[in-house]
């Protein structure tokens, strides 16, 4: 019950602090540019591309949707970070936290409430923007992903993991340091994905191993890559090869262990945050 109160408080705080207004503006800008880009790309696809064996609509649709997925992950990460970067240490330094945590709710419940509030907002946000991108792509070129729901779920899960990481960082780091740290982690995951893409292109097992291990260590990246590959699950041949060389890390299947690992990772990160918070003098 107390966790719900804190989650609602966090939600209202983000609404009143106009975090949503900033993110909404960024999102509308992105969707406008995406709509423009996707229409132009489909119009010119027939004349610009088709190498032998590549389906133009499939190639354009999957590539642009892949780009959209990256943008959605990025915007979701921005939202996750803004909602949680000062949740513990930052709020404690500003004197906002102490009046709340001396109440009987307990620190773990407080943290859980903050997590539920931010994770709920971010997951819904990602799902909505993803749906908008799918509709814009389908409307512009008549191309639809092979799987529609699963990529949205995985993308939302990736952002929820970033919420948890940001919350963990907020226990130990100041707001600014935490924001930087989470974006560095996000960047590290991205670099891991790109290394895998390069490794695949040049046939380097070392790069592929590094990329795979990075993705397991930062499972939000693995979830992102897994969601990408689901967009073109049924594509084959040259088209699939071309699509896998997408602009922000190609899709890769991580198998049935990924959701289990991601759930365990999430639980571990939250447990670590709870332990760190419980031991912290305020």
| Position 52 contacts other proteins (CB under 8 A) | no
Smallest separation, CB 92 to other proteins (Å):
9
Binding mask 12-31 for other proteins (x = CB under 8 A): xx--xx--------------
| Position 98 contacts other proteins (CB under 8 A) | yes
Euclidean distance between CA atoms 89 and 95, whole angstroms: 10
Smallest separation, CB 239 to other proteins (Å):
51
| Stretch of residues binding other proteins (CB under 8 A), selected from 10-18, 190-198, 215-223, 259-267 | 10-18
Q: What number of CA atoms fall less than 13 Å from residue 173's CA on the CB side? A: 17
Of these, 96, 149, 267, 275, which contacts other proteins (CB under 8 A)? 96
Contact 83, 14 (CB under 8 A): yes
When the beta carbons of 104 and 203 are compared against other proteins, the nearer one is 104
If phi > 0 it is left, if psi is from -120 to 50 it is alpha, else beta; for residue 173 that is beta
| Position 256 contacts other proteins (CB under 8 A) | no
When the beta carbons of 17 and 213 are compared against other proteins, the nearer one is 17
3-state secondary structure of 167: helix
Assigned token pair, 88? 């513990």
Cα–Cα distances in Å, from 160 out to 3, 51, 203?
17, 39, 33
Torsion of CA 13, 19, 21, 27, to 10 degrees: -140
| Position 11 contacts other proteins (CB under 8 A) | no
| Stretch of residues binding other proteins (CB under 8 A), selected from 90-98, 149-157, 194-202, 225-233 | 90-98
Of these, 99, 202, 203, 205, which contacts other proteins (CB under 8 A)? 99
| Position 94 contacts other proteins (CB under 8 A) | yes
Torsion of CA 161, 166, 169, 170, to 10 degrees: -140
Cα–Cα distances in Å, from 255 out to 40, 168, 225, 268?
35, 27, 11, 21
| Position 47 contacts other proteins (CB under 8 A) | no
When the beta carbons of 118 and 123 are compared against other proteins, the nearer one is 118
| Position 106 contacts other proteins (CB under 8 A) | yes
Of these, 47, 205, 256, 279, which contacts other proteins (CB under 8 A)? 279
* Cβ neighbours of residue 191 closer than 8 Å, sequence gap 6 or more: 214
Of these, 19, 100, 148, 191, which contacts other proteins (CB under 8 A)? 100
Nearest alpha-carbon partner for 233 in 43, 58, 69, 104: 58
| Stretch of residues binding other proteins (CB under 8 A), selected from 1-9, 157-165, 208-216, 263-271 | 1-9
**Interface with other proteins (CB under 8 A):** 2, 5, 9, 12-13, 16-17, 94-96, 98-106, 279, 281-282
């Amino acid at each position: 019950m107390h966790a719900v109160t804190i989650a609602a408080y966090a939600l209202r705080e983000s609404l009143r602090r106009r975090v949503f207004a900033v993110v909404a503006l960024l999102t509308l800008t992105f969707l406008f540019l995406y709509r423009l880009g996707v229409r132009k790309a489909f119009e010119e696809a027939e004349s610009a591309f088709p190498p032998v064996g590549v389906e133009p609509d499939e190639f354009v649709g999957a590539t642009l949707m892949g780009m959209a997925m990256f943008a959605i992950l990025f915007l979701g990460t921005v939202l996750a970070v803004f909602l949680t970067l000062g949740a513990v240490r930052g709020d404690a330094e500003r004197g906002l936290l102490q009046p709340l945590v001396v109440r009987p709710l307990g620190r773990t419940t407080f943290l859980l409430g903050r997590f539920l509030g931010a994770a709920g907002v971010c997951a819904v946000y990602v799902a909505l923007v993803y749906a908008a991108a799918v509709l814009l792509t389908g409307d512009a070129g008549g191309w639809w992903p092979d799987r529609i729901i699963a990529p949205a779920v995985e993308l939302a899960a990736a952002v929820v993991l970033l919420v948890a990481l940001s919350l963990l960082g907020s226990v130990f780091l100041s707001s600014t340091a935490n924001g930087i740290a989470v974006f560095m982690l996000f960047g590290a995951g991205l670099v891991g994905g790109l290394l895998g893409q390069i490794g695949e292109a040049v046939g380097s097992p070392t790069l592929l191993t590094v990329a795979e291990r990075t993705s397991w260590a930062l499972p939000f990246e693995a979830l992102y890559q897994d969601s990408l590959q689901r967009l073109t699950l049924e594509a084959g041949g040259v088209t699939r090869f071309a699509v896998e060389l997408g602009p922000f890390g190609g899709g890769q299947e991580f198998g049935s262990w990924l959701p289990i690992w991601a759930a365990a990772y999430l639980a571990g990160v939250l447990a670590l945050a709870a332990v760190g918070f419980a031991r912290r003098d305020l």
